Amino acid sequence: MAFLSDSLARVKPSPTIAVTTKAAELKAAGRDVIGLGAGEPDFDTPDNIKDAAKRAIDTGKTKYTPPDGIPELKQAIVDKFARENALTYTPGQISVGTGGKQVLYNALIATLNPGDEVLIPAPYWVSYPDMVLLGGGEPKIVETGIETGFKMTPGMLEDAITPKTKWLIFNSPSNPSGAGYSAAELKGLTDVLMRHPHVWLMTDDMYEHIAYAPFEFATPAQIEPRLFERTLTVNGVSKAYAMTGWRIGYAGGPEELIGAMRKIQSQSTSNPCSISQWAAVEALNGPQDFIRENCETFRRRRDLVVSMLNAIDGIECPVPNGAFYVYPSIAGLIGKTSAGGVLIEDDEAFATALLEETGVAVVFGAAFGLSPNFRVSYATSDTALKEACGRIQAFCDGMR
Ligand X SMILES: Cc1ncc(COP(=O)(O)O)c(C=O)c1O
- By CB under 6 A, name the binding residues for ligand X: 39, 99-101, 125, 171, 175, 204, 206, 236, 238, 244, 249
- Which residue number places its CB atom closest to ligand X? 99
Shortest gap between Cβ of 167 and ligand X (angstroms)?
A: 15
Query: Contact 330/162 with Cβ under 8 angstroms?
Result: no
For residue 217, the minimal CB distance to ligand X (Å) is 14
* Nearer of residues 39 and 359 to ligand X, judged by Cβ: 39
CB of 180 to ligand X, least distance (A): 12
76 versus 308: smaller Cβ distance to ligand X:
76
Cα dihedral 40/45/46/47 (nearest 10) = -170
- Cβ closer to ligand X: 121 or 236? 236
Residue 60 CA to residue 37 CA, distance in Å, equals 38
In sequence order, the 6+-apart residues with CB closer than 8 A to the CB of 27 are 33
The CB-of-18 to ligand X minimum distance in angstroms stands at 15
> Residue 234 pairs with which residues in a beta bridge?
204, 251
Q: Find the shortest distance in angstroms from Cβ 134 to ligand X.
A: 15
Q: Please tell me the distance from the alpha carbon of residue 276 to that of residue 90, in angstroms, as a whole number.
A: 22
- Closer residue to ligand X, CB minimum distance, 170 or 278: 170
CA-based nearest residue to 125, from 283, 258, 249, 227:
249
Q: What is the nearest approach in angstroms of ligand X to the Cβ of residue 206?
A: 4
Nearer CB in complex with ligand X: 125/200:
125
Which residues, 6 or more positions from 362, have their beta carbon under 8 angstroms from its beta carbon? Answer: 19, 36, 37, 351, 354, 355, 374, 375, 376
What is d(CA 129, CA 169) in angstroms, rounded to the nearest whole number? 10
* HEC assignment per residue over 376-391: EECCCCHHHHHHHHHH
Between residues 70 and 131, which has the closer beta carbon with respect to ligand X?
Answer: 131
Residue type, 36: L
What angle in degrees, to the nearest 10, is found between the helix axes of 382-397 and 289-310? 20
CB of 100 to ligand X, least distance (A): 3
Residue nearer to ligand X on the CB measure, 175 or 373: 175
| H-assigned helices in the chain | 6-9, 15-28, 47-58, 71-85, 99-111, 127-134, 154-160, 183-194, 220-223, 255-266, 274-285, 289-310, 347-358, 382-397
Going by the DSSP 8-state scheme, the letter that residue 90 receives in this structure is -
337: DSSP letter: B
Q: Which is nearer to ligand X, 133 or 315 (CB)?
A: 133
Minimum Å distance from CB 176 to ligand X? 8
CB of 393 to ligand X, least distance (A): 27
Q: 206 or 218: whose CB is closer to ligand X?
A: 206
φ and ψ at 122, to 5 degrees? -105, 145
Residue 101 or 151: which CB sits closer to ligand X?
101
Q: How far apart are alpha carbons 351 and 396 in whole angstroms? A: 12
CA angle 297, 298, 304 (to 5 degrees): 95
Q: What's the closest the beta carbon of residue 372 comes to ligand X, in angstroms?
A: 21
Closer CB to ligand X, 174 or 358, in the complex? 174
- The Cα 243–Cα 279 span in angstroms is 9
Minimum CB–partner distance for residue 204 and ligand X (Å): 5
